[in-house]
Amino acid sequence: MNKKVLLCNGIGNRINQILNYVDELDKVTFIWSDDKNLDNIECGATWEDLFSFPKLNVVYGTYDKKKFHNPSSFKFRSNNQFQHEHDKVKLKAAQQFIKSLVPSKQVSKLMSHIPEGTCGYAVRLFHPISPIKNPIKIPSGSFLTTDSEEQRLFSPKTIQTQGVGGTGDKCINTLGKQGVIRAIADWFCLFKCEKIIEIGPSFTSLNHRSSKKGPPHSTFVDAHRILGCNVINLS
C-alpha cells in the first residue's frame, strides 16, 4: 500500500520527514504543502527548485493544518524529527540519501566558496524557543547562516550567501522561492565546514519532544548530525 507523507513546516523539518522513509521511497508519495496562508510561508519553493537529484514522488497541494492534526481525520504520516538514529540500518540509509543530494543549478549559483578549515555558524534568533534574541559576535572568516538580517549585518566579515534578509525575517526576500533556495545554499555550505557551531535553541537529541513552548530544537542541521558532521550546540 502506498504511504502518503505530508511535508510541512520549514525545510529542515521536511528533510527529516523524508529521511524517516528513505528505505522505502518507492512506496511513498510525499505531499508538499504549498499553502502560504498556513504553516509553510518559509517554504515557497518546490523539491525540484532545491535539488536536482534524487527525484522523489512529490505532489503539491494545499492542506488544512488544523484538520491534518485532528486524529479523527488523520490522512497522512508525518514526523518533524528523525526517529531512527539508533537503528543502524535506517541510519545508514539516511546517511546515504543525504550524501546523494545534489543541489539544483539555482542553489549551486548561490553557494559560497568555503576555505578548508572554516567554522560554520548556524544562528537562530527567531526560533520559538531560542534564548538568543539579539545579534552576537561571530569570528571573522567564519561561514554564517542565520534567520536574522540584523545578525547578517552585524557580522559583515563573515562568509555569507548572496541575498537580502535572514531566513526567518518576514520580508519578501525570504518568504518566497528565492529565500528557500538561499537557505538550502547555506545548508549545503555547512557540509563543507570543518565544524558547525549551532546557537539558538538547545539540543538534546534528534527525536526530543518534551518542549511545551514550541519545536523542541532547530532541525536545520539535523541532517549534518545524522551524517556525522562535527556539530556543537552552544545554547
What is the predicted pLDDT for the residue at 27?
93
What is the predicted pLDDT for the residue at 8?
82
Q: In 161-195, which positions are buried (b, 16+ CB within 10 angstroms) versus exposed (e)?
A: bebebbbbbeeeebbeebbbbbbbbbbbbbbbbee
- What distance lies between CA 101 and its chain's CA centroid? 14
**Which of these, 70, 145, 65, 152, lies nearest to 110 by C-alpha position?**
145
What is the predicted pLDDT for the residue at 39?
43
What is the predicted pLDDT for the residue at 139?
98
What is the predicted pLDDT for the residue at 71?
45
What is the predicted pLDDT for the residue at 73?
43
Region label for 214, one of left (φ > 0), alpha (ψ between -120 and 50) or beta (otherwise): left
Region label for 128, one of left (φ > 0), alpha (ψ between -120 and 50) or beta (otherwise): alpha
What is the predicted pLDDT for the residue at 103?
98
Rounded to the nearest 5 percent, the helix, strand and coil shares of the chain are: 30, 15, 50
What is the predicted pLDDT for the residue at 1?
61
Dihedral pair phi/psi, residue 90, rounded to 5°: -70, -35
pLDDT along the chain (235 residues), means of 10: 83 94 93 62 81 94 60 65 94 98 97 97 90 94 94 96 76 69 95 97 83 74 98 92
Strands 58-61 and 119-123: unpaired
